[in-house]
């Protein structure tokens, strides 16, 4: 063909046998790429009255040891200034962090099964921090991809008055005095402590362990022991075996967990339920265990496992269970759990707490 001579038109070529498959693959990869660029749609927050509301303080959710030291030694103004200067640095996870992550794992399962239900865990950050500190808290929550939409920052005032407004089922704080105030107001609450060492916990199943007396149940039996000794206690429990104990401060929280468990049971998922509860008590099974179990039955409640230790240390058993949190009214059981790597929470309720009230009242306030 001479230069400048027009080309003869050519017939269009048929695509090769793998062209359509290759094009579809390119399109699918492009779709995944752009879907990942788009902001992830978060689930809608439930109405507080429909949900199981868990309120956590900032010092329970995150480690704020240095910030608390500044607050205590240098005052609130220096504390706020430090937080503003470091607001782009996320806090490290605190003792309640694995518990909150486990709550969110349960929520994901619930939303898969019941997409229109608001009967899920609703986590509220409840803190007496000033609003200026809020940016660092928000940055930390986003850094760890936590779904916490509700904040209550009270600017130095006690957050206790807001707990009822949020229909709180459980309040966790690092401030023992705030927890006592909540208990006095009839709100389930506990002071949470970091374990002495890190132990891996389940990423797919929420595990919650409860002591019995003065936690799930009233302190009736502990009063008998304190006033009259163990022999009289065993006699009392035998005589009242069929009389349910009065409820303790965390009975309502166990009830809420049981309600959510039944949503999985109704779908045939009892053995795969992502919530598991434990009764871990110093009671002995033969002499005083029946009353505890019959009390739970009378309430229409149950725990997945019941462990009667007859006074043996709880720490080694908790190390095997690996709960996300363990509730007890006795500080020596809390300390024993901590030593074995368990996140433990102290419930300041009942006759065992009376001697501590005066000393606790003298403690300095804290930033939460």
C-beta of residue 208 within 8 angstroms of C-beta of residue 277: yes
* Choice among 122, 175, 211, 329 that is catalytic: 211
Q: E-strand spans in the chain?
A: 52-56, 62-63, 92-93, 121-127, 150-153, 168-173, 189-193, 206-210, 275-281, 305-308, 325-328, 344-346
Alpha-carbon torsion (57, 62, 63, 65), positive or negative: negative
- CA nearest 129: which of 121, 120, 137? 137
Q: Is 211 a catalytic residue?
A: yes
List the 52-56 sheet strands across, edge first. Answer: 150-153, 121-127, 52-56, 168-173, 189-193, 344-346, 325-328, 206-210, 275-281, 305-308
Structure tokens at 103: 């709550």
CA pair distance 84, 67, nearest whole angstrom:
11
State the Cα–Cα distance between residues 320 and 323, nearest whole angstrom: 9
The pair of structure tokens assigned to 207 is 């595990």
Contact 79, 70 (CB under 8 A): yes
Positions annotated as catalytic residues are: 211
């Amino acid at each position: 063909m001479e230069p400048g001579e027009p080309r003869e038109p050519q017939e269009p070529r048929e695509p090769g046998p793998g062209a359509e498959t290759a094009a579809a693959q390119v399109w699918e990869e492009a779709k995944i790429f752009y879907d990942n660029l788009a902001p992830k749609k978060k689930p809608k927050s439930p109405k507080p009255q429909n949900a199981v509301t868990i309120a956590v303080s900032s010092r329970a959710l995150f480690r704020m040891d240095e910030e608390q030291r500044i607050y205590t030694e240098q005052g609130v103004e220096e504390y706020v200034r430090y937080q503003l200067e470091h607001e782009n640095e996320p806090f490290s996870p605190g003792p309640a962090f694995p518990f909150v992550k486990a709550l969110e794992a349960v929520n994901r399962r619930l939303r898969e099964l019941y997409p229109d239900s608001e009967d899920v865990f609703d986590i509220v950050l409840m803190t007496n921090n000033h609003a200026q500190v809020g940016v660092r808290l928000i940055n930390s929550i986003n850094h760890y991809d936590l779904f916490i939409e509700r904040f209550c920052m009270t600017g130095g005032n006690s957050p206790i008055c807001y707990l009822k407004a949020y229909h709180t089922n459980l309040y966790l704080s690092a401030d023992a005095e705030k927890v006592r105030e909540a208990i006095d107001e009839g709100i389930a609450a506990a002071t949470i402590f970091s374990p002495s060492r890190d132990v891996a916990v389940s990423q797919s199943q929420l595990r919650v362990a409860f002591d019995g007396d003065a936690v799930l149940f009233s302190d009736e039996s502990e009063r008998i022991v304190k006033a009259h000794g163990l022999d009289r206690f065993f006699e009392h429990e035998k005589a009242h075996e069929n009389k349910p104990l009065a409820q303790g401060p965390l009975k309502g929280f166990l009830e809420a967990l049981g309600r959510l468990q039944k949503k999985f049971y109704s779908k045939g998922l009892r053995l795969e339920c992502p919530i598991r509860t434990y009764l871990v008590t110093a009671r002995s099974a033969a002499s005083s265990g029946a009353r505890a179990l019959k009390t739970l039955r009378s309430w229409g409640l149950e725990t997945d496992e019941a462990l009667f230790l007859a006074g043996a240390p709880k720490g080694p058993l908790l190390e095997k269970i690996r709960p996300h949190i363990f509730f007890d009214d006795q500080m020596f059981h809390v300390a024993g759990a901590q030593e074995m790597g368990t996140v433990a929470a102290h419930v300041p309720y009942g006759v065992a707490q009376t001697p501590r009230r005066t000393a606790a009242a003298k403690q300095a306030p804290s930033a939460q």
